[in-house]
């Protein structure tokens, strides 16, 4: 497990993704948090008002790649139809090192 830090910045990857499909009301955020924590990733996940789930995370290359594969599968009752990267740059929220959080839903 690789922790991102200033000294390990070269090895760290950061992604910002939108997950489409049946991903709300199926435990997707809690499942995402558990998977991210198991992989040692930092970041956040939230529901969006359009029915999608948004997540931004960072970690080692291998862990980030594994997490992306897991997101395509989703938890048992989810049906992920697609995952798209967010085009614009955005800042990682100030969170404690090694923390992955569930944010409040996007404003409706």
Sequence ranges of the domains in the chain = 6-87
40: DSSP letter? T
pLDDT in tens, 5-22: 544 444 788 899 999 999
Q: Element (H or E) spanning 72, and its range?
A: helix 61-73
* Nearest Cα to Cα of residue 84 among 4, 9, 23: 23
Active site residues: 29, 47
Measured CA to CA, the distance from residue 10 to residue 51 in angstroms comes to 34
Band (pLDDT 50/70/90 cuts) for residue 99 is confident
How do residues 12-67 score in pLDDT, each as one tens digit? 888 999 999 999 999 999 999 999 999 999 999 999 999 999 999 999 999 999 99
Report pTM. Answer: 0.83
Fold assignment, 6-87: Alpha-Beta Plaits (3.30.70)
């Amino acid at each position: 497990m690789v922790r991102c830090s200033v000294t390990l910045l070269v090895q760290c990857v950061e992604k910002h993704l939108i997950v489409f499909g049946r991903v709300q009301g199926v435990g997707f955020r809690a499942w995402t948090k558990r998977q991210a924590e198991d992989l040692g990733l930092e970041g956040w996940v939230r529901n969006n008002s359009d029915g999608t789930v948004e997540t931004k995370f960072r970690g080692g290359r291998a862990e980030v790649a594994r997490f992306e594969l897991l997101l395509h599968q989703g938890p048992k009752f989810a049906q992920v139809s697609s995952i798209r990267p967010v085009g614009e740059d955005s800042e990682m929220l100030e969170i404690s090192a090694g923390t992955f959080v569930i944010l409040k839903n996007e404003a409706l």
